[in-house]
Structure 1
Amino acid sequence: MPSAKDVGRAVARRLQPVTTTGPQAAGTMLRRIVEVAIDGTGRFPSARTTAARHLEKHGGSVDAAIESLIDSHVRIGTAQGFVTNLGGIVVAAVTIPANLAGVAVVQVRMIAAIAHLRGYDIDDRRVRTALVLCLLGGEQIGRRVASGRLPTTPLAIATAPVFDPNLDARVSEAVVGDLLARVGGKHLPLLITRRIPLLGGGVGAVVDGLATYQIGQFAKGELVRRRALSN
């Protein structure tokens, strides 16, 4: 099976022309990442296949499968965060796009697999908007909803009566901006350490692994079972 780094680089080659400009470009970028994460590519398994493997491994227990999913994706995220940040500032022009795409693919597949196990239709555009929004994490989403920058939560979007293309564009722009800030190292301590070979790899591993864990925990709590919603 190819590594997250390999998948990230493959996706990054397709994304580089649209990584920095406007809501339309943000939407295009996220759609491509979501397609790879949910549908799979080459030997990179789809979200459904991944969910099914974890469910079978844990004897049909959805809760155990979700915990296993999160653990495995944290390991993948940590590994690709290390490898794509080893070279320091010298290779940053290559590794930042690869890391951006790689960590996003890993995290979206994890969220989508959780949603699938919880009974959501991950082909539904409303659900896909919700999956992308989960990438911000609970704290960021709470702040943006409280300030009015976002109207509602991933759960409300996934279960809304109709798809809202304007909301989808807003979510895409917010998430791409957050990913670029996080992966590009705009926060000073991260920027400094990523300039140093090897040390940058360790920091990248911690940042991506921790972010993947937090996002997985948020998605697990946010995307409640569809059966429970209908009761």
Structure 2
Amino acid sequence: MTEKVTQNKIMAALDWTYEKAVEGGIPGLDSAIELADDYINSDGTITDKVNSLIRWQNTKAGTSGFINGLGGFALMPVTIPANITSVMYVQVRMIAAIAHMGGHNLKDDRIKTLVYTCLCGNAAKDIIKDIGITVGTKLTQQAIKNISQEVIVKINQAVGFRLITKFGQTGAINLGKAVPIIGGLIGATFDSVATNTIGNIARDTFVAKV
């Protein structure tokens, strides 16, 4: 399998996951908007609410098998190991929910691209700095408007490469294919830590500090 094909599969999986996360297409799981609304209606500042969501999603990522048995991923158009797809879904839905809580339109391709970028964790800061977006400062409408279709393609390519690198470093792809149960167990701690980092990046990207 070439690197290009691998990246294409990752991006196809991301697109499928994003659609399901936003539209609520996985049976038994709320959509990103429904998840966000649950926390929006709770007490505290918007930052408190987002932090609460992140803490809960950390638990979900650490036990990613909770959605492996639901069958929804059998319909994924590309073959990605279950221990990756389940965590990917949890993380994409969490980021999208945070973006919605920050008042952003999840139907906007530019927001979708920024959601994907947050999956890269701390590396997201480097990927988007060249387009005038700084993690930790308010995401303005002008900054969003500056993201052209050409820039979207460039960012998505960078994201695909980063994700392939990340999964390769943790052995998630090879181990997930060979021994999925053990792979899931070994990956649980990493998934939880990674999800916390990703959640913090999403919060600092999409939600103005209060």
TM-score relative to the length of structure 1: 0.67
| CA–CA separation in structure 1 for the residues paired with 2:116 and 2:164 | 14
Percent identity over the alignment is: 28
CA deviations 1:38-57 (Å, max 9, x no partner) are 2211322111100111223x
Of structures 1 and 2, the larger Rg is shown by 1
Q: Whole-Å Cα distance in 2 between the matches of residues 199 and 26 of structure 1? A: 22
C-alpha contact (below 8 Å) 1:47/1:113 kept by paired residues: yes
Superposition map of 1:197-212 within 5 A: 200-212=183-195
Which of 18, 28, 33 pairs up with 2:12? 28
2:34 paired residue among 49, 62, 66 = 49
Provide the residue aligned with 2:153 in structure 1. 169
Shift of 1:102: 1.6
Name the SS of the counterpart of 1:160 in structure 2: helix
Query: How far apart in 2 are the matches of 1:212 and 1:178?
Result: 16
Q: Provide, for residues 129-151 of structure 1, a one-character-per-residue CA deviation record: whole Å limited to 9, x for no partner.
A: 1111111112x1334467xxx64
Alpha carbons of structure 1 residues 52 and 180: separation in structure 2 relative to 1, 3 Å: same
Match of 1:70 among 54, 73, 91: 54
CA spacing shift, 1:192–1:100, aligned 2, 3 Å: closer
Pair 1:218 & 2:204 matched: no
Following superposition, the deviation at residue 82 of structure 1 comes to 9.4
Matches within 5 A, 1:57-206: 58-59=42-43, 61-80=45-64, 97-138=81-122, 140-144=123-127, 151-153=131-133, 155=139, 159-161=143-145, 163-183=147-167, 186-187=168-169, 200-206=183-189
Distance 1:166 1:22 in 2: 21
Work out the CA distance in 1 between the residues paired with 2:8 and 2:181: 36
The answer to whether the Cα contact below 8 Å between 2:106 and 2:112 also exists between their aligned partners in 1 is: yes
The residue type equivalent to 1:55 in the other structure is: I
The Cα shift of 1:212 comes to: 0.3
Residue-pair matches, total: 193
* Structure 2 unpaired stretches of 5+: 69-78
Following superposition, the deviation at residue 64 of structure 1 comes to: 2.6
Give the direction of change, closer, same or farther, for the CA distance of 1:196–1:173 in structure 2 (3 Å limit): same
Instruction: Kindly report the root-mean-square deviation, in angstroms, between the aligned alpha carbons of the 2 structures.
Output: 3.6
Shift of 1:66: 0.8
Q: 1:121 to 1:192 in 2, by over 3 A?
A: closer
